Amino acid sequence: MDSSQTFNQDMSSWINVDSTQSHEVKKLKERYSISDEMLTYALDKNERARVEYDPMEKALLLIFKVPNLLKKDNHYETSPMAFILKDQHFFSFVNERTKYVENIIERLLSDEPDQSAASLLFHTLFLISDYYFPLVEEVDSQRIHLNQRLREKTTNKNLLALSDLEIGLVYLVTATKQNAVLLEQIKAQSIFSSFTDQEKEELDDALIEAKQAVEMTKLSSEILDQLSGTYNNLLNNNLNDTMKILTIWSLLLTIPTIVTGFFGMNMPLPFTHSELGWIISLVISLGLSIWLILVLWRRIR
């Protein structure tokens, strides 16, 4: 195994596994009799948050959505991370994106070495939920700064940055919701009755923290959706104003064309031979233009 550590007065052990090392994963099946089904779920990079309990093997599997601390394509994403409880063994499956969770578990064991395997699991899930808060706060800070820039000038660059924030929040909102549902589902598993009162309380604490993460990410997402909708309406309104101006301008330009077109016809017309004919045509064009402007102004306002 990548690392192994005993705790709870040597009654429990923590085994940290690098899920990218296939030969290490195979040892789990041989040494700890973990089923192929659970290992398949644990190693699936696209697995949704879920909980599975095998009463025959007495093994509890949790797939928890862990936030990635580094941005990808200018937004935050999440990755599934597997935990297994079996015979007082606590297994964690990490990769390059979730490796920081290993440090979380090490700190928990250093602060409280006498906790049970289930307590270690629930404390870990509690702290993972905490990692969502600074990410959402950063998104909120970026949204405020971006809003100021958009008020000054609505550019494609700023709108694309706003889109990146929306995409990142979709990942965070979906992940936090799945995590909260997962923790609720643990209470429906038969293993729940075997937890001590303290472990049940720790599970409740982890659930409360997960629900707070849901509310925080949901609120931030709703605000960002409202902001995006507002600027979308502004862009549509600006486009409508532009189209109005172009339409009015094109109508005004047709009046001189029509008037001069009449006087250009090869047929007798009033003022054709007058020295002031061109001035008269200009006056007629100007009069019709002013009349059209007044008519359009009354309709537009």
The pLDDT, as a whole number, for residue 300 is 61
Tell me the C-alpha distance between 242 and 193, whole Å: 68
> What pLDDT is stored for residue 200 in this prediction?
94
Q: How far apart are CA 91 and CA 35, in angstroms?
A: 13
Of the pLDDT bands very low, low, confident and very high (cuts 50, 70, 90), residue 126 is very high
CB atoms within 10 A of CB 112: 13
CATH of 3-236, one of 2.60.15.10, 3.30.460.20, 3.40.50.1220, 3.40.50.10540: 3.30.460.20
pLDDT surpasses 90 at 118: yes
Range with lowest mean pLDDT among 2-6, 35-39, 49-53, 264-268: 264-268
Residue 292: pLDDT over 60: yes
**Which residues are registered as beta bridge partners of 4?**
15
- Residue 72, classed as helix, strand or coil, is strand
User: Tokens standing for 262?
Assistant: 């009449």
Q: What angle do CA 290, 293, 297 make, to 5 degrees?
A: 145
C-alpha span between 14 and 106 (Å, rounded): 10
CB 168 within 8 A of CB 139: yes
pLDDT at residue 115 greater than cutoff 80: yes
- Band of the pLDDT at 82, cuts 50, 70, 90? very high
- Token pair of 145, please? 């700064």
| The pair of three-digit structure tokens given for residue 79, joined into one six-digit string | 């990755």
**pLDDT number for residue 47:** 84
Mean residue pLDDT across the chain: 84
Q: What angle (nearest 5°) sits at the alpha carbon of residue 121, between those of residues 117 and 125? A: 170
**Whole-number pLDDT of residue 155:** 76
Quote the percentage of the chain above a pLDDT of 90: 40
Tokens (6 digits) for 62: 């949790």
pLDDT digits (tens, 9 = 90+) for 187-222: 989 899 999 999 999 999 999 999 999 999 999 888
pLDDT at 273: 62
The pLDDT, as a whole number, for residue 1 is 47
pLDDT, average across residues 111-133:
94
Task: Calculate mean pLDDT across residues 121-129.
Answer: 96
What's the average model confidence in pLDDT over 56-79? 90
Interval 109-129 mean pLDDT: 94
Q: To the nearest whole percent, how much of the chain has pLDDT over 70?
A: 89
Higher pLDDT, 67 or 45: 67
Residue 233 makes CB contacts below 8 A (sequence gap 6+) with none
The predicted model gives 237-250 an average pLDDT of: 73
For residue 255, is pLDDT > 80? no
The per-residue pLDDT for 84 is: 93
76-90, 125-139, 148-162: segment of lowest average pLDDT: 148-162
Q: Give the SS3 label for residue 211.
A: helix
Query: Is residue 233 within a helix (H) or strand (E), and if so which, with residue range?
Result: helix 197-263
Alpha carbon 90 to its chain centroid, in Å, reads: 31
Q: Which of 218, 230, 213 is nearest to 169 (CA)?
A: 218
Q: Domain limits of the chain?
A: 3-236, 264-300
Assign 274 a pLDDT band (cuts: 50, 70, 90): low
How much is the pTM?
A: 0.77
Q: What was the pLDDT predicted at 263?
A: 64
| Total number of residues shown for the chain | 301
Provide CB contacts within 8 A for 292, sequence distance 6+: 251, 252, 255
Beta strands at 12-18 and 89-94: parallel, antiparallel or unpaired: parallel
Q: Extract the tokens encoding 146.
A: 């971006």
